[in-house]
Amino acid sequence: MVVNADKVRVTGRKRDDKMYFRHSLYPGGHTLTRYRDLQAQKPEEIIRLAVKGMMPRNRLGRAMMKKLKIYTGAEHPHAAQAPKPLPLPASR
């Protein structure tokens, strides 16, 4: 489970230079989206695409992706499972 997906930060010029590619499988159906635009519209999609790129490309990877829950803010409906925060090292 990932919360606060809207607070993801990147270094360097990735905010302006990073592009995400989609294709509708129709001729000429390709779409490029900038990181900046995707963060403004669907910040949880950035996390989902990053994790999906690290998963194995088989049925196990697809099963693990179904279990991933991503939320934009700090609120989530999983209070009954008592999730614990993962402490991250302090950034420079």
Q: Is residue 57 part of a domain?
A: yes
pLDDT score, position 92: 63
pLDDT in tens, 44-77: 999 999 999 999 999 999 999 999 999 999 899 9
The CATH number of the domain holding residue 22 is: 3.90.1180.10
Residue whose entry in the numeric block shows the structure tokens 């088989």:
58
* Overall average pLDDT of the 79-85 stretch: 85
Q: Is residue 83 part of a domain?
A: no
Q: Is residue 25 part of a domain?
A: yes
Number of domains in the chain: 1
Which domain does 53 fall in, by range? 5-75
Q: Is residue 54 part of a domain?
A: yes
Q: Is residue 92 part of a domain?
A: no
pTM to 2 decimal places: 0.84
Q: How far is CA 19 from CA 30, 38, 39, 81, in A?
A: 12, 9, 12, 36
**Is the pLDDT confidence value at 91 over 70?**
no
pLDDT in tens, 9-37: 999 999 999 999 999 999 999 999 999 99
